[in-house]
Structure 1
Amino acid sequence: MSETLTDRLPATRRVLSIALLLAGLGAQQAHAGLFDDEEARRKVDDLSIKSNERLDTVAKGQMELANQIQALRDENARLRGQVETLNYELEAAKKRQQDFYVDLDGRLRKIEAPVASGTDAAPAGGSQQAPAESPKKVASDPATETREYEAALNLFRANKLKEAAAAFEAFAKAHPDSTLTPNAYYWLGNAHYALRDCKKGIDAQRMVVSKWPAHAKAADALLNVATCQQELGDSKSARATLEALLAKYPESSAANAARQRLKK
């Protein structure tokens, strides 16, 4: 039995149908694959844009932080320069104040010198009666005293306070009756005060007031005592000292300063 054309036709149709069906499925898969690639690219582009935006934000933040750090450095340098300038001006002011006091000391000594010379010259009229007087003390050498005193004063002027204090103290012990000894105690007190030793400063200034109450520096010494007492936190004693200054030396320049302090 031979197969006729009529028998072959249905089989051919089935093959064609299957082929068309497979072709349609392949086209759908290709379309789906293309769609998936575009979606992935779009997501990648979105992530790239967001990443770039974040990087730009971070970069801007870092730049602002760097600018702030530089501004702080500049401000720190400016403030450091101001501090150095103020320290220099403070040291210069202290130096000017010391020079002023030293100059004032020299002027007062010139005023005091004629008085001392007159006192020394008084016994000269009766040389025959000199042996009948009480035994004389060992004669001092005014030139030596002046050199020692000036050396101590120069140390104070050079702001060598410890050395100056030691020199003034040594001078006062070596020459207790010198006309320069009250000055030495006065500057000894100032040196101790500058060294922040107010107790020793008070002791030295009180020596001037108690032993030489009529001395030109006595009023200033009493004012310095009040300053030291205030530094030690003893306001009551400081006020009492200022009131005593006004009572003992009402016409002195130190008394004017005392009045101003008592008003506060």
Structure 2
Amino acid sequence: MKKIKLLLSGLAIALLGGCAGSVQQIHNEALLPEIDVIQVKENSDEALKLAQEAKLDVNVLSTKVTELDNKIILLSEEISSVSAAKIEELENRLALLVEAYKDLHAQIKAIEAMPLRASSKNQKNPAPTFSPASAIALVNSPEYDLYQQALQIYNKRQYEEAVNLFNDLLKHYPSGQYAANAYYWIGECYYAISDFATAIIAYKKVLTFKNHQKGDDAQNKIALSYLKMGQSVEAKAEFKKLVERYPSSEFVPRAKQYLKEIM
């Protein structure tokens, strides 16, 4: 009887040991999926973090690139603005210098054409003299000042005001030294604003001053004005006048080209 109890006790212990091992194995196997999920989650979090950091870096770089682009655009605009202003200033100065040169050249020609002081003491009616002082007076006259003021306004592209000043000059000095020039620049003002019909009227006024230095300029602009208005017949006629009346003009080669092109 005692042996039977010992046998049963041993069997019970063996069964319990086997059950305990099975339970532990089952528990361990149950933990494996949980551990894998945690590992995957940790890996995912790390990957997400890296991705977010990378995205942040890309955004920062993108922002910096945009800032640089904006700076380049601003710098380019500043350079363009400065260059345009400088060019316009130089053009204005050049135009004034050219006009001053032409005026001075005309004055020299006028001085050379005047009779010299009579050398004979017995001459009853000596020829009028033209001294350096009187030549300087031509340049420093109110007429010259008004003309230069009007020309400067024209070069600033303030055409309406320029027309008023040139007309003021013509009002006070209708037969003055700069009258023909004033008519020419009035024509240029209207030409600039595409009022070609009115420009032609002013240009034709220049032609009433015989052998004036701006005659070929005015004749050329009359032809161009008709061309701008689409009046090819009139334009062709005016270009022919330019070639015939001013054969040595700088505008003749282009005028001949227009005559070939105009149908």
Greater percentage in helix: 1
What amino acid is the match of 1:156? L
What amino acid is the match of 1:28? Q
Cα drift, residue 69 of structure 1: 1.8
Tell me how far apart the structure 1 counterparts of residues 96 and 232 of structure 2 sit (CA, whole Å): 26
Query: What does 1:111-126 align with in structure 2 at a 5 Å threshold?
Result: 111-112=109-110
Look up the match of 1:171.
169
Q: Is the 8 A contact 2:183 2:203 kept in 1?
A: yes
What amino acid is the match of 1:250? P
2:235 corresponds to 1:250: no
2:149 corresponds to 1:154: yes
Q: Is the 8 A contact 2:143 2:173 kept in 1?
A: no
Query: What does 1:121-132 align with in structure 2 at a 5 Å threshold?
Result: none
Cα drift, residue 242 of structure 1: 2.4
Cα drift, residue 190 of structure 1: 2.6
Check 1:249–1:153 CA distance in 2 against 1; reply closer, same or farther (3 A cut). same
Cα drift, residue 66 of structure 1: 3.2
Cα drift, residue 246 of structure 1: 0.7
Cα drift, residue 76 of structure 1: 1.2
2:217 corresponds to 1:220: yes
What TM-score, normalized to structure 1?
0.69
Look up the match of 2:83.
86
Check 1:92–1:78 CA distance in 2 against 1; reply closer, same or farther (3 A cut). same
What amino acid is the match of 1:54? A
Look up the match of 1:29.
26
Check 1:179–1:10 CA distance in 2 against 1; reply closer, same or farther (3 A cut). closer
What amino acid is the match of 1:94? E
Look up the match of 2:180.
182
Look up the match of 1:100.
98
Tell me how far apart the structure 2 counterparts of residues 190 and 98 of structure 1 sit (CA, whole Å): 15
What amino acid is the match of 1:200? T
The size of the alignment, in residue pairs, is 236
Tell me how far apart the structure 1 counterparts of residues 65 and 231 of structure 2 sit (CA, whole Å): 48
Check 1:225–1:102 CA distance in 2 against 1; reply closer, same or farther (3 A cut). farther
In structure 1, runs of 5+ residues without a counterpart are 119-124, 126-141
Cα drift, residue 257 of structure 1: 5.6
Query: What does 1:57-68 align with in structure 2 at a 5 Å threshold?
Result: 57-68=54-65
Tell me how far apart the structure 1 counterparts of residues 59 and 258 of structure 2 sit (CA, whole Å): 56
What amino acid is the match of 1:48? D
Q: Secondary structure at the match of 1:252?
A: coil
Tell me how far apart the structure 2 counterparts of residues 110 and 44 of structure 1 sit (CA, whole Å): 99
RMSD value, Cα: 3.7
Look up the match of 1:77.
74
Q: Is the 8 A contact 2:187 2:199 kept in 1?
A: yes
Tell me how far apart the structure 2 counterparts of residues 201 and 239 of structure 1 sit (CA, whole Å): 17
Cα drift, residue 207 of structure 1: 1.6
What is the percent sequence identity of the aligned residues? 18
Check 1:242–1:105 CA distance in 2 against 1; reply closer, same or farther (3 A cut). farther
In structure 2, runs of 5+ residues without a counterpart are 116-124, 126-136
Q: Is the 8 A contact 1:102 1:157 kept in 2?
A: no
Q: Is the 8 A contact 2:150 2:166 kept in 1?
A: no
